[in-house]
């Protein structure tokens, strides 16, 4: 039987996986190109601690073009809301 603590641990692990976006390699590739990751850009834009992410665990259902083998949480899109300059 799964306990509440087990479920919370699994949720935290999945959340950490989603925060990595496409993975460390893709983030590193962005940095080598002189770019920030999507979440890094959001952190720079939004007031600290105000961004609320939506649909972090969404996943595509596409099976064409080899997409069945590519599973990225959030479907490679970061959506949410927050404050910019207190507004």
- In angstroms, what is the C-alpha Rg of the chain? 15
pLDDT, tens digit, 9 for 90 and up, residues 25-43: 888 998 999 999 888 999 9
Do the domain assignments include residue 31?
yes
C-beta separation of 24 from 32 below 8 A: no
Do the domain assignments include residue 43?
yes
Domain count, the chain: 1
Do the domain assignments include residue 87?
no
For residue 33, CA distances in Å to 21, 29, 42, 50 come to 17, 6, 18, 28
Do the domain assignments include residue 86?
no
pLDDT, tens digit, 9 for 90 and up, residues 63-77: 777 777 776 665 568
Higher pLDDT pick, 83 / 15 = 83
Do the domain assignments include residue 63?
yes
Do the domain assignments include residue 71?
yes
- The pLDDT-based confidence of 14 (bands split at 50, 70, 90) is confident
Query: What integer pLDDT is reported at residue 8 of this predicted model?
Result: 92
Do the domain assignments include residue 11?
yes
Residue 49 has pLDDT above 90, yes or no: yes
**49 vs 53: CA distance, rounded Å:** 11
Question: Which pTM value belongs to this model?
Answer: 0.69
Residue 51 has pLDDT above 70, yes or no: yes
Q: Domain residues for 58?
A: 4-81
């Amino acid at each position: 039987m799964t306990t509440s603590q087990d479920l919370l641990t699994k949720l935290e692990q999945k959340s950490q996986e989603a925060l990595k976006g496409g993975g460390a390699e893709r983030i590193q590739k962005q940095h080598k190109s002189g770019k920030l990751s999507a979440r890094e850009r959001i952190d720079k834009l939004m007031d600290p601690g105000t961004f609320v992410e939506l649909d972090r665990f969404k996943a595509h259902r596409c099976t064409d073009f080899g997409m069945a083998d590519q599973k990225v949480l959030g479907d490679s899109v970061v959506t949410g809301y927050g404050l910019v300059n207190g507004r």
